[in-house]
Amino acid sequence: MSKTITLNEALAKIKLLNKKIADKTNKLKLTSYAPKNSETEKKNNKLKKDFIEKGKSDLQEIQDLIKNIKEIKSKLVIANATNYVTVAGVQYTIAEAIERKNSIGREIDLLQHISTDYHADKRYVEGINQQNQTRLDTRINTLLGNSDRKDCKDLIDAITENAKKEEFEVVNESIVSDLIDKMQEEINDFISNIDVQLTIANSTVTIEIDD
């Protein structure tokens, strides 16, 4: 006879079965000791044949529980691969969503590396350009002295234009800046929504198991 349960119920059942397996395994006795000519074993003071039969029965119970867990997990795998959740506008199978949740740290590490490298280069460029600007201002002031700057506009423009050749820039800046913003937004949206969507899926998606 089959029974319909949600994924949450299936996960809870697996947890319960694992506990039963652990308890029964701890109590399992398959060997004992006794004199060869005695019909009774000495550990539990049971007839040898009864002790052996109980051990076989207890072992079979554990093996049946293990088989039950395997069957439930197999159906969970199928359900997770064939049912979908939408997280921040992106559709995933439940399995894909769980995998991304479990591995989101790699995306965060990648984003952090790109962002750190980008901002370090940006600070360096800003520093170099500021130094160049300071040197330019000093040079102009030295050349002009007390002269009226309005009368020296062409000279100032020529010096300023020539100084632009020494300006630094961040290579690939706009593309990387946009990439950082995009990655940050996608990661934040996913983290903010994934748990809610998985909770809904686990509460509504069902599987059939043997009762």
* Local confidence band at 145 (pLDDT 50, 70, 90 cut-offs): low
- Angle at the Cα of 24 from the Cα atoms of 20 and 26, rounded to 5 degrees: 120
Residue with tokens 């691969």: 81
pLDDT of residue 188: 98
Give the rounded percent of residues in the chain with a pLDDT score beyond 70. 92
Cα–Cα distance, 18 to 71 (Å, whole number): 13
Query: Residues 176-210: pLDDT tens digits?
Result: 999 999 999 999 999 999 999 999 999 999 999 98
pLDDT of residue 3: 94
Give the rounded percent of residues in the chain with a pLDDT score beyond 90. 75
Cα–Cα distance, 81 to 64 (Å, whole number): 26
Is the confidence at residue 159, as pLDDT, over 90?
A: no
pLDDT of residue 1: 81
pLDDT of residue 5: 97
Helix (H, G, I), strand (E, B) or coil at 5: strand
Query: Residues 100-124: pLDDT tens digits?
Result: 999 999 999 999 999 999 999 999 9
pTM (2 d.p.): 0.80
Return the beta strands (E) in 46-201 as ranges: 84-87, 90-93
Residue with tokens 């550990």: 43
Q: Is 4 left (phi over 0), alpha (psi -120 to 50) or beta?
A: beta
DSSP at 47: B
